[in-house]
Amino acid sequence: MGIQSRIIDTARLQTSVLENGNVGAHKRVLLVHGNVSSGEFFRDLLGQFPADVHAVAPDLRGYGGTEARPIDATRGLKDWSDDLLSLLDALNWPDAHLLGWSMGGGVVMQVALSAPERVKSLTLVAPVSPYGFGGTHGAEGTPNSPDYAGSGGGTVNAAFVQAVAAGDRSDAAGSPRDVMKKFYFNAAQFAPTPEQEEAWLTAMLQTRVGEDFYAGDQTPSEHWPNVAPGTRGVANAFSAKYQNLAAFANIQPQPPVLWVRGDADAIVGDASLFDLAQLGALGVVAGWPGAETCPPQPMLGQMRSVLDKYAARGGTYREVVLSGAGHSPFIEAPEEFWAEYAGHIGLTV
């Protein structure tokens, strides 16, 4: 069959997907991308599945070729998770093996919270913390300030958002191409082919921009860095004000969880270069009030805390760290990733 693209009408919106394999296959896999990307990033992974697997990589709302619908950030990740459940219905899938990358890791965790019986297994690839991105400290996601300052739409680099909106294909510092090559991967060990680079850049530039999409609106704050989450758009949806996946530890039934990350990830980690508190600690952002009141977010520790509680309640998870990989281990270390992932979903390696 090969990799195909199509638009699927669901009860919620028209969803653009890439897919591979037998449409009637018993084993069903859903691959969910992260922020400023699309299902295109999974094209090579899609090509690895055997013919008896039906693998689908949708574009989330606000990305790729999927119908543009505003994102209600006050629902956290539920706009996206509800969209995916509607897609499963349209595909006539009673359940599926779910993989989520980066922000998509949080989205598939929310799917498992909303409908755990529909999740055969869960694979989290460089996932966002269960307590969103920015503005929290400690293993339990305690906010640094009562209004969650330091997270949300106002924390995103405005020049980068403008470059996405303008369709900037240059290699200038801070451009989408530059950010992809420096931060989506560990540039010291991986470089995309020219064909991959252009396809992935095109996918990034399909991101819808605005207050209802990326990055979202913002609210002034009296707390450093003087911006707090608004109520609309992407970065507010995954702020800790609205995204809290701690209840994942209590879901029943409990699908097996594989957590894969690279040890050179500069985006999701305990010292993320996209966390304003970390940038403040490094002296890059002025006015940082110090580690007592605004420490960098321990993203890995927060995920591990939730998964440890999941395991304590009878669930199982494995944490796999791929040496030298950055934020996209399924791209940067495909053989090592496939060996772990195929076994997790019951495929013969």
Question: What's the pLDDT band for 26 if we cut at 50, 70, 90?
Answer: confident
Quickly state the pLDDT bin for 108 (edges 50, 70, 90).
very high
Region 19-35 average pLDDT: 91
Is 246 inside any structural domain?
Answer: yes
Predicted pLDDT of residue 22: 80
Who contacts 171 (Cβ-Cβ below 8 Å, separation ≥6)?
A: 177, 178
- Residue 349 above 80 pLDDT? no
Q: What is the CATH number of the domain that holds 273?
A: 3.40.50.1820
Provide CB contacts within 8 A for 47, sequence distance 6+. 3, 20
3 state DSSP class of 131: coil
- Does residue 13 surpass a pLDDT of 80? yes
Residue among 149, 152, 188, 177 at smallest CA distance from 266: 188
pLDDT at 24 over 90: no
Q: Is the CB of residue 87 less than 8 Å from the CB of residue 16? A: no
- Please report the DSSP string for 280-330 in residue order: HHTTSSTT---TTTSPPP-HHHHHHHHHHHHHHTT--EEEEEETT--S-HH
- Specify the pLDDT at position 348: 79
Q: Give the residue numbers spanning the domain of 136.
A: 4-344
Q: Where are the beta strands (DSSP E) in 92-212?
A: 96-101, 119-125, 136-137, 142-143, 209-210
Domain annotation covers residue 276: yes
Average pLDDT score over residue span 217-245: 98
Residue 345 has pLDDT above 90, yes or no: yes
Q: What is the pLDDT of residue 25?
A: 81
Measured CA to CA, the distance from residue 30 to residue 271 in angstroms comes to 30
Q: Residue 1 above 70 pLDDT?
A: no
Per-residue pLDDT at 257:
99
Q: Is 196 helix (H, G, I), strand (E, B) or coil?
A: helix
Cβ-based neighbour number of residue 117 at 10 Å: 12
Work out how many domains the chain is built from and give that number.
1
The pTM (predicted TM-score) of the whole model is 0.98
Give the Å distances, CA to CA, from 25 to 4, 49, 59, 74, 80. 16, 12, 22, 37, 25
Residue 223 DSSP one-character state? S
**What does pLDDT average to over the chain?**
97
Rg, the chain, Cα only: 19
Alpha-carbon distance 52 to 129, whole Å?
33
172-228: per-residue pLDDT in tens?
Answer: 999 999 999 999 999 999 999 999 999 999 999 999 999 999 999 999 999 999 999
| 349 part of a folded domain | no
| 129 band by pLDDT with thresholds 50, 70 and 90 | very high
Question: Once rounded to an integer, what is the mean pLDDT over residues 300-321?
Answer: 98
**The tokens 């339990």 sit on which residue?**
140
Main-chain dihedrals φ then ψ at residue 17, nearest 5 degrees:
-135, 155
Indicate the pLDDT class of residue 21, thresholds 50, 70 and 90.
confident
